[in-house]
Every structure is written in structure tokens, then in C-alpha cells.
Structure 1
């Protein structure tokens, strides 16, 4: 009903301020009390006797068994670790089942009386209906309580994740705005000092510049990590060719001593991703150089487009990655061989690739090092789709 309260809200208000145990005692006591009363009624009816064995079985023993089960269920409610709201739901459905079934029994007895039919089993009908209806209500209530428990658990988990994201966002703001700004000032000052430092201080200045650059890069990784956690995936067609070429050019500028080869031609294909795809390539390309112990690191980038997927392969001639370390390589905080980084670079890569519905694996490179293979879902680019639609309309204009 529009503007009305849901059952969950009604029950929550009814048990508001009550302890879990108090509500369990009330509900369990009511169920047990009614079950015992119905058992006593049916026992008395059995002692009065039945005209046949079938009458005794279905009119006495069976309803009595139902009443006993209801009484025992009430005792179990006392002992179960139900919350106040869960107990309230069980009690509500039990009451509904009992009242409806008992009312139906009374209606049937009154109908028989008005029809001049001798209601010899009126007690059996009313009490039996009450027991069966109550038991049915308990079953419904139990499943409803389980549903409420699952929903409550999900809501608590959602709230916990929201709190964690809020804390992470706060840390991100502090690191990027406060620490990040200070690092930019340090890096800028170090660049200015480069023209005024004598040869004896060049090594120290180079270490300062490298450390500042790595720290700035770490703050950017944190931004990417938080963005991936906070934002819902807004995937769209992303052109692989442009991103790969840009990241390869950037790597050549950052590491002029490295040899970076981009296998041609690079397919003009689009994949399902977002703007953070560049971060995936940035991390893989940077790792291929920084974890390479060669004086002249070689990096080979290959892009292959299939009918449904696009594969990006980044391989190097470094020390490679042992087979035993590959299974845990993409876990958070896991450092690669010889790495002195933060251990979140490959974790972010794996998280983003999974966000795109793709996969990433590591294998041995033909060049002797490691080869990271990223496979992403291929989609039609927005421009290509629009052009195809326009061409179709020209060829087959609407009537």
C-alpha cells in the first residue's frame, strides 16, 4: 500500500525497546501455551472415545501430534538465538495461521449446525484447525525470520563497506592533497637544485628525485585504487590502439635507456573498459622495466584482436617470475621478485581487469623474462556503431 508500513517496519516498531530474550519469552510462551491447551483438548476428546479406528487416528491422534509439535516449537523459540525482530516475525505468522485456521474451523462448525447436521466432531475440527494453522504459521514465520536475518546481515555488510570506503576516501584526500602537494614541492625544488649541485652531491640529488617520483606515483596508485572501489563500473567502448601507443611513448620518455618495441600493426579495436585501462598498461609496462636487472631492458608489447576478445601481451627479458609465486602474485600486498614497492600495483591491475570482465595471466616470455597477458572483451566502438547506424538509415530510410 502506497505510504503504508511494511511488515518489517510494523514488527520493528512493536518490539522497539525490548530485549531479544524478552520477545523470545513472550512469543515462545504464547506458542507453548496454546500448544499445551490444544493438546489437553485433544487428549480429553480422545479419552471420550471415537466410533472407529480411522476417527481415532485422524480425529484424535493426528491433531494431538500437531498440537504437541506446536508446544515443542514454542520451547525451541525460547532457546533459539533469534533477535527481537526475528521472534516478532515468527510470532506474527504463527498468530495469523492460528487465528485464520481456527476461524475457518468455527465457520465450518457453524455451517454444519445451520444445516441441521450433527457436529459430532466440532471440537476436533476447531482444535485441529488451530493446531495445523499454527504449525503452518510457524513454518512461514521461521523462513521469514531467516529472510530477515539474511537481509539484516547484508545491510550491516553494506554499511560496513560504506564506512570502510569513507575512511579510505579520507585517507586518499589526505595523501593526495596534503602529502601529494608536499611531494610535488619537493620534486620541483629538487629539479631546481639540479642546476646548482656540484658533482659530489649529484648522487644524493638523484636519489631524492627518484624517491620523490616514486612517492608521487604511489599517491596516484592510491587514487586509482580508491576510485576503483568507490565508483560503480561505468564501462564503455575504449579504443585500445590509442591507449597502448600513448603508454608505450610515455614509457620510452621515462626510461630512455630501455628498448620498448610495439609490434605492428596495432589493431583498431575497442574493448569494454573505462579511463582506468591506462593504469593497467602503465603498471605492467613500468614493472617490466623497474623489475628488470638488465642494463638495457627490453620490453615487447603485442596487441591481438579476435572476434570476441582483445589480447594485450607485455613481455620482458628480465629475471622472470618463479612458478611458485605466480598464484599469489596478484594478491594485495604481494611483492614480486626483487620488488621494493608497495605491493598494490599488480593487485590494482587484477582488480581493474576483473572489473572489465577480463582476465590476466603470467607466463614465461620468449625473451627470457615474464609475459603478462591481458584478455578483454571486444566491443564495437561508439563511433563505429554510430556510423553503422547512419549508413543503415541511408540505405534503408524509415518510412
Structure 2
């Protein structure tokens, strides 16, 4: 009796020892299945991982079945435990191999997709550069020639001339075409991978755009309070941001003498530029998507305000309509304040007038460069604009 108990105890111990030895592998299979379910490995890889798991368990079992006849004196229950141990270990190893292979396939596919995307982006960039060159050298040059000759013809005619109104229409459409072309070029430039922003003096940029506004529109009144020592984080496209806002403030104002007021406020981290007009305000149905791309052309603000939003995003800033109503609209642009001193070279480049604007070079530099604020009312007739093909 004692011998039988000893044999039973020995067999039981061996069975328990075998179960304990396969427990980590079974636990690993369960944990691996949960991990696979939550991982980013595509479900299309799961059948292959399952195939590796089954093949691993079956293959290791076959190997062990071939060695079992070498030990014929073992009890049957021991062989059962041996087989279970073989299946557990083989399945766990197969699952690990399948997972590693799936990961490798996913990485290879991702690398191939990245290479294809890079080639496609390079192809797109080449076409965008070509389109930019065509717009600059072909379309914009022709628009400038049309506008220049139209201005000369207007100088030779009186307002009572039957052709005067038609020439005014040609001049206006030529100017609008030029604006659209510049907007498209700016939009193309915002598509680069990462802008190189640096400390940029804000005052020369704003004053340069206000000068251009004076040149472009008759009877416009400008009131500006611009500190001289304000710098922001921006690049060469900053003037276009304010040009679009200022032009929009006048073009959508039905007053015979529109007012544009510009003020600058500073905080520790940002600079806020408020652009106020005395126009009729913005309709409620346009406020929500005012700075979004107007693909279906439901509104008449074109792509100018969309470019404003793209540029403020480019500089990690923001733009919003802070007030609007029958008495006018206030749009606020908030830009990161530069920590370093202004880059004089950058300031000079940013404040240089756009050659396509035909800015008046006879303005008093002392009154505009040294004054902390300015208030002007401009009333003048259009001056002849010679044809030009230099747009760079």
C-alpha cells in the first residue's frame, strides 16, 4: 500500500510539475492575444500569425513524438503531459515568430508607402514651383502691362469720355487679377514643409502696407498707432497677411470715404494687431467660415482671408473677428512676440514695398518712419502707371 501511494504521489508531482512548466507559455499566449487585439498590427496579418502559432505547436509536438519511443517505460499520463508541454511551448514560440514577421512586413509596407509619398510630394513641389513661375513671369506680367497702359489711357481722357467708364472697369479688373495672382503665389509659398520664422520688426511692415493702401484707394482715411519697437516671429510673407486684411476692409466698405484704424497692443508673450473699419459689418452666415477656403464661392471675399488664416497658423498665431455690426468690424491678429531684438536686414526686406503695387515713392520718410502714430486722409487723383514686366 505504501509503495502504491508513493508511485501515485510521484506521478502526481510530475503532472503538477509539467503543468507548472507550461503555465508561463499558456499565459504568454493569452497575453499575446490581448496585445495583438490592441496593437496597430492590421487585422489582415492575424491569420498569418495564427498559422505560425498552429505550425509552431504542431511542429514541436511532432519533434517530441519522435523522441518519446526512446523512453518506453514512462507512464501514459507522463506522455500526455509531455505532449501538452510540447504544444504549449511550440505555440508560444510560433506566435512570437508570427508577430515579429508581421511587424517586419508592416514596417516594410510603411517604408515603401513613405518612399512613394516622398516621391509624390517632390513631384507636386516641382509642379507647384512651375506654376508659381508661370504665374509670375507670364500671367502677372501681362496683368501689369494691361493695368499700366490702361492707366495711361485714363490720363488722356476726361471722365465725360464714353470710353472712360470702360477703361476704369479694365483697370479695376486688372488690379483684381493681380491681387488674385499674388494671393495664389502666397498660398503656394505657404505649402512648404516648415517656415523659417525669425524676429521681424512689425512697424515697417504695417506702415508699408498702409502706404500701399493709400496708393491703391482714393479717399481712404487711415488712423494708425504703431509703436516702433515691436517685433514678432514671422517671415517674408508677413506683409501679405496685413495687405489682405487692409484691402478687404476697404473693398467691402460702401462709404465714400472709408476709414481704416490700426492699433498695436503688446503682452508678455504676444502682439495683437487690431484692424478696424467703419463698413456695414459682416453677415452672420459668413462669420463661422470667414477664414476658411470658399470652394463653392458662396461669399465674395475670395481666397484673401483664407490666406490670412494660413499665414497666422504658419506663425503659430491666430486671427478672429472680435467685433462686427452696422458701425464697422474689428479683426484682431495675434502673433508670437519675438524674444530677440529685431533683425534689421529682415525688417528692411519685410517692409519693402511690393513692386507690383506701384507705390508712391515721394512720401515724406521723416513723417512716417519716426512718428509713433499717424493719422492721414488721402484725396488724390490717379497717377499714370507705366507698363512694367518686372515682378520679382
Q: Which residue of 1 aligns with 2:62?
A: 40
TM-score, scaled relative to structure 1 = 0.64
Q: Give the CA deviation at 1:236.
A: 0.5
Q: Give the CA deviation at 1:201.
A: 0.8
Q: Which residue of 1 aligns with 2:256?
A: 295
- The question of 1:226 aligning with 2:188 is answered yes
Specify which of 55, 64, 69 is matched with residue 87 of structure 2: 64
Hey, which of these two has a bigger chunk of helix by percent?
1
How far, CA to CA, are the matches of 1:369 and 1:218 in structure 2?
25
Q: Which residue of 2 aligns with 1:328?
A: 289
Answer whether contact 1:332 1:344 (CA < 8 A) is retained: yes
Q: Which residue of 2 aligns with 1:375?
A: 334
- The question of 1:153 aligning with 2:113 is answered yes
Cα shift readout 1:117-168 (whole Å, capped 9, x = no counterpart): xxxxxxxxxxxxxxx4443222222223223333333333333333222222
**Partner SS for 1:312:** strand
Answer whether contact 1:239 1:270 (CA < 8 A) is retained: yes
How far, CA to CA, are the matches of 1:53 and 1:330 in structure 2?
77
Structure 1 residue ranges without an equivalent (≥5): 1-24, 70-131, 386-399
Q: Give the CA deviation at 1:193.
A: 1.6
Specify which of 142, 147, 158 is matched with residue 102 of structure 2: 142
Specify which of 213, 217, 227 is matched with residue 266 of structure 1: 227
Answer whether contact 1:321 1:337 (CA < 8 A) is retained: no
TM-score, scaled relative to structure 2 = 0.65
Q: Give the CA deviation at 1:276.
A: 0.8
How far, CA to CA, are the matches of 1:306 and 1:319 in structure 2?
31
How far, CA to CA, are the matches of 2:255 and 2:295 in structure 1?
23
RMSD: 3.5
How far, CA to CA, are the matches of 2:237 and 2:66 in structure 1?
77
Q: Which residue of 2 aligns with 1:202?
A: 164
- The question of 1:170 aligning with 2:130 is answered yes
* Pair 384,154 (structure 1): closer, same or farther in 2 beyond 3 Å: closer
Specify which of 318, 322, 343 is matched with residue 359 of structure 1: 318
How far, CA to CA, are the matches of 1:51 and 1:44 in structure 2?
17
**Partner SS for 1:230:** coil
How far, CA to CA, are the matches of 1:54 and 1:294 in structure 2?
100
Q: Give the CA deviation at 1:204.
A: 0.3
| 1:1-399 mapped onto 2 (5 Å cutoff) | 36-42=58-64, 56-57=80-81, 59-67=82-90, 69=91, 132-197=92-157, 199-230=161-192, 232-262=194-224, 264=225, 266=227, 268-333=229-294, 339=300, 343-365=302-324, 368-382=327-341
Structure 2 residue ranges without an equivalent (≥5): 1-46, 345-392
How many residues are treated as equivalent by the alignment? 295
Q: Give the CA deviation at 1:53.
A: 6.7
